Structure 1
Amino acid sequence: MNASPPAPIRNPWSVVLSCFLGLLFCISPFFQYSSGVILAPMAREFGWSHGQFAMAPALASLTVALLAPFVGWWIDRRGARIVALTGSIAMPLAIMSFGLIPADFRIFILVAVLVGIFGAATLPSVYLYSLPKFFDRRLGLAISLGVIGLGVGQIVMPQLSAAVVGSYGWRGAWIVMGGIILLAGVANAALLVPRRNAAPVSAGAEAAPLDGMLFGEVLRTPGYWMLALAFFLIAMVTNGTAVHLVGVLETRGLSPQQTVIALSAIGIGSITARLASGVLIDWFGVRFPAILFLGGQALGCVLLGLNFGSATAILGVMLIGGGLGAESDIMPYVLRRKFGMRAFGRVNSFSFSALAMGSTIGPTAVGFSADWTGGYSTVLLGFAVAAVVAIALICLLAPPHLRTRGPRPDTASPMAVHPANN
């Protein structure tokens, strides 16, 4: 049987829009970064500790980490659309079920695992998969514009969640927020996410060939595992602080209104870093934005850990968001340039396993540290050290051609530099 002809994409920027919307309503902005607004009153009503309620996003992240390699294989085999559509239906239904559970910790854990299982199909790697097919010279810019959806979600979701909790209580909030994510996610997956055989047809489109290393070759490369460690550390720092920001900021003397503003500040920092880092990567390579934004993340942990006051606490949250934004640009860009497109779906998804593992360990470490020590300072200062280690690893492993100052030519292969063709 002959293969079906490519499905034409006349405007490649519609692929960027699908990425933006997909990441706005994926598992990360709401469940990993904003669910604390709903989990906090839920835990108080049920009489659960910091460590217990932190297990929901932690276990969901662990489940995502375990399933991410399978999701990558699924994307490479069937394309991003069917994966995104499945996750956009199943994950919100699991989120909505939180509003129906009794005060039974076992059921709470079961639902959290279900959110992780279905949320794996909404990973950023699902929506980022198609971008390198349509962009090469402007890949950094395309990624940065697409992943802004995460930052917008981190601004909007806490505010919206707080408003819904105030109007409907925590049970109603789970159902309302799940319903919003369901409707928006399904519409995006069905209408905008490209099919597996989609191809650019406009004159301005930039198609990248399926070059690079096989998946097994990537896994046998020591540099890949060092990069994965860097991504793990960044996610541990960002998610560990994000899930517990309500508790951290309360101990710093912020009012509930200031706390909600601070929760949105992580999204502001993330958007700023994503916009800036994409341009900076295209011009200077990954070292400079890694030092700038991940160094800011380390400083943010210090500001929160040493408690200099409410204003510096909000600044610290924004700096931590900046680290998150830069990481979202750096990871897929480096993986594409260093290892190519041949197994990009699996490599990118496998790398998100490292992010998910960091997202699992970070919140759990902060929660139990707060229970044991009665505060957050020790773990936050430890996170600052972890961020510095991540900077060193990324700078060490940046592909050589990404270090060139000024705008660089396109690369048809991650291992060589070729003249620009557009």
Structure 2
Amino acid sequence: MGHGRILSQCGCPATGGPGSRCRRIVVVTQTVSAPRRQIPRIHRAWWVAVVAFVALVGAAGFRATPSVMIDPFRDEFGWSHGTISFAISVNIMLYGLTSPFAAALMERFGMRRVVAAALTLVAVGSGLTVFMTASWQLVLCWGLLVGLGTGSMALAFVATVTDRWFVARRGLVSGILTAGTATGQLVFLPLLAVLVSDHGWRPASLLVAGVALAAVPLVWFLLRDRPEDVGLRPYGADPAAPLEPRPVATGAGRRAITALTSAARTKAFWLLAGTFAICGASTNGLVGTHFVPAAHDHGMPVTTAAGLLAVIGIFDLVGTIASGWLTDRFDPRLLLGVYYALRGVSLMVLPLLLAGEVHPPMLFFIVFYGLDWVATVPPTIALCREHFGASGPIVFGWVLASHQIGAALVAFGAGLTRDAYGSYDMAWIAAGALCAMAAAMSLAIRRGTRRPPGVR
């Protein structure tokens, strides 16, 4: 508020004596109203979420690409399923192991710089793949470079965005962003399958490189690290709360390790890490990597199998958003128990459903499995936040690392199983049994002390 003051001296006779003049000061105060700050109709947090969603879509599509290239690599170079699966397992493992350090780097350097660098790394790795002539080059390009790049845009990125930019609707936003992984499969897999079938795998690799580079300007100009940087509060925060810029974090590596050593002293961390390792084994490691070649073993065209995997992505979009909504309202431990139990049953039935053509029971499996694909992520993020507070995003990064370790082991092991027995049947059944174990472990997790409001 602005104030103007007008001072005048009165000239009336004074009562204090002859010839004296009144010395009263008349003060006239004029108040000038400052213009009100325009509050945008759409909070900027939602625009940050949109950019994060686009980056996650790209990361998922880049990681899903090798599933349609296993047979072309084998046909052109003569590599075994085990050799190709090893490169994919390196990609999957680095995706997880990079995640907690990426979350800490985002604390130190900001989300914008880390995600832009990650997209550039993916483009370089995918582009160099077209020149490879030996299997170690596949491990270097698609395993190491693409793995590091996509790992820097892993689901710990989801936890970081929701923790910084949202107070209300955290579960819902976690579900939407996590569903970006499914959308990546939906967008990329059918197109890549057609490219690989009609033109070979090299155009598909170049497409991935081009899309990654195209996303860099979007991230650089639209993504912001914290709402305080642009004079805002997180979405749903108390309007009366003061804006207090957070100090710049230092020692990203030390921060990640400290969060791990502290969390590792708790039972909750090991239960969350164990269940999420089984989640990775049963999704990215097995179905995401080997469903297409397994269906092809039964006579199904690669393009059809890739289309079914993309349909899983469609229903995962619905299931994960719904899971985020449920996580805001119900006990996340119970949700995890239900999700893992249902997933285990569906995997044990899958060997009976694989055939050369798509039939109704297979479509039912695709819909059912899609709804459950990564519905486990919002409850897991919520439990990390409950138990570990401000360190929740980094701890979730380590939990995600266990997810990818489980995925990597099963991706490699399933390839060896296929080489040894000529079938994936044992891999499906073993994964179903692991999911039953994960359901029991989920129910053994105790509730944390930082339970979000509104959760039963």
Q: Which residue of 333, 344, 355 maps to 2:403?
A: 355
Identity among equivalent positions (%) equals 22
1:293–1:322 contact (8 Å) kept in structure 2: no
Counterpart-to-counterpart distance in 1, 2:117 and 2:104: 15
Counterpart-to-counterpart distance in 2, 1:198 and 1:130: 14
For 2:264, the equivalent position in structure 1 comes to: 219
1:166-315 alignment runs, 5 A limit = 166-184=197-215, 186-196=216-226, 198=229, 201=232, 205-206=236-237, 215=259, 216-239=261-284, 240-307=286-353, 309=355, 310-311=358-359, 312-315=361-364
Counterpart-to-counterpart distance in 2, 1:204 and 1:51: 47
TM-score normalised by structure 2 residue count = 0.79
Q: CA deviation at 1:187?
A: 3.0
For 2:122, the equivalent position in structure 1 comes to: 91
What is the DSSP-based 3-state SS (H/G/I as helix, E as strand, rest coil) of the residue aligned with 1:25? helix
Q: Which residue of 49, 60, 64 maps to 1:16?
A: 49
Counterpart-to-counterpart distance in 1, 2:123 and 2:234: 38
1:68–1:350 contact (8 Å) kept in structure 2: yes
> CA 1:36 to 1:357, structure 2 compared with 1: closer, same or farther past 3 Å?
same
> CA 1:372 to 1:399, structure 2 compared with 1: closer, same or farther past 3 Å?
same
2:87–2:139 contact (8 Å) kept in structure 1: yes
> CA 1:68 to 1:11, structure 2 compared with 1: closer, same or farther past 3 Å?
closer
Counterpart-to-counterpart distance in 1, 2:48 and 2:268: 30
1:294–1:387 contact (8 Å) kept in structure 2: yes
Alignment partner of 1:108 is 2:156: no
1:238–1:323 contact (8 Å) kept in structure 2: no
Q: CA deviation at 1:90?
A: 1.2
> CA 1:76 to 1:220, structure 2 compared with 1: closer, same or farther past 3 Å?
farther
Counterpart-to-counterpart distance in 1, 2:65 and 2:264: 34
1:252–1:313 contact (8 Å) kept in structure 2: no
> CA 1:128 to 1:199, structure 2 compared with 1: closer, same or farther past 3 Å?
farther
For 2:435, the equivalent position in structure 1 comes to: 387
Q: CA deviation at 1:246?
A: 1.4
Deviates more, 1:298-307 or 1:154-163: 298-307
Counterpart-to-counterpart distance in 2, 1:124 and 1:203: 20
Q: CA deviation at 1:127?
A: 4.2
- 1:41-61 CA-to-partner distances (Å, cap 9, x unmatched) read 122111111111112220112
- 1:7-65 CA-to-partner distances (Å, cap 9, x unmatched) read x9942211221221121011x3332x332113321221111111111122201122233
> CA 1:160 to 1:87, structure 2 compared with 1: closer, same or farther past 3 Å?
same
> CA 1:124 to 1:188, structure 2 compared with 1: closer, same or farther past 3 Å?
farther
Structure 2 unmatched ranges of 5 or more: 1-39, 247-257
In the comparison of the two structures, how many residue pairs are matched? 393
For 1:338, the equivalent position in structure 2 comes to: 387
Q: Name the structure with the higher helix share.
A: 1
Alignment partner of 1:158 is 2:189: yes
Letter in 2 for 1:109: V
For 1:366, the equivalent position in structure 2 comes to: 414
Counterpart-to-counterpart distance in 2, 1:29 and 1:106: 23
2:92–2:407 contact (8 Å) kept in structure 1: yes
Letter in 1 for 2:332: V
Deviates more, 1:46-55 or 1:378-387: 46-55
2:172–2:328 contact (8 Å) kept in structure 1: yes
Deviates more, 1:198-207 or 1:286-295: 198-207
TM-score normalised by structure 1 residue count = 0.85
Counterpart-to-counterpart distance in 2, 1:258 and 1:202: 47
1:76–1:345 contact (8 Å) kept in structure 2: no
For 1:410, the equivalent position in structure 2 comes to: none
Counterpart-to-counterpart distance in 2, 1:417 and 1:258: 43
What is the DSSP-based 3-state SS (H/G/I as helix, E as strand, rest coil) of the residue aligned with 2:65? coil
Q: CA deviation at 1:339?
A: 1.3
- 1:277-302 CA-to-partner distances (Å, cap 9, x unmatched) read 11111122224432443333213212
Which has the bigger relative contact order, CA under 8 A and spacing at least 6? Answer: 1
What is the DSSP-based 3-state SS (H/G/I as helix, E as strand, rest coil) of the residue aligned with 2:237? coil
Alignment partner of 1:30 is 2:76: no
- 1:315-339 CA-to-partner distances (Å, cap 9, x unmatched) read 3344333333212222222211221
Counterpart-to-counterpart distance in 2, 1:87 and 1:16: 18
Counterpart-to-counterpart distance in 1, 2:172 and 2:307: 28
Structure 1 unmatched ranges of 5 or more: 1-7, 401-413
Counterpart-to-counterpart distance in 2, 1:329 and 1:61: 20
Counterpart-to-counterpart distance in 1, 2:118 and 2:444: 36
- 1:181-216 CA-to-partner distances (Å, cap 9, x unmatched) read 2212x1332133222554672695337999xxx724
Deviates more, 1:237-246 or 1:65-74: 65-74
Counterpart-to-counterpart distance in 1, 2:283 and 2:277: 10
Counterpart-to-counterpart distance in 2, 1:119 and 1:348: 16
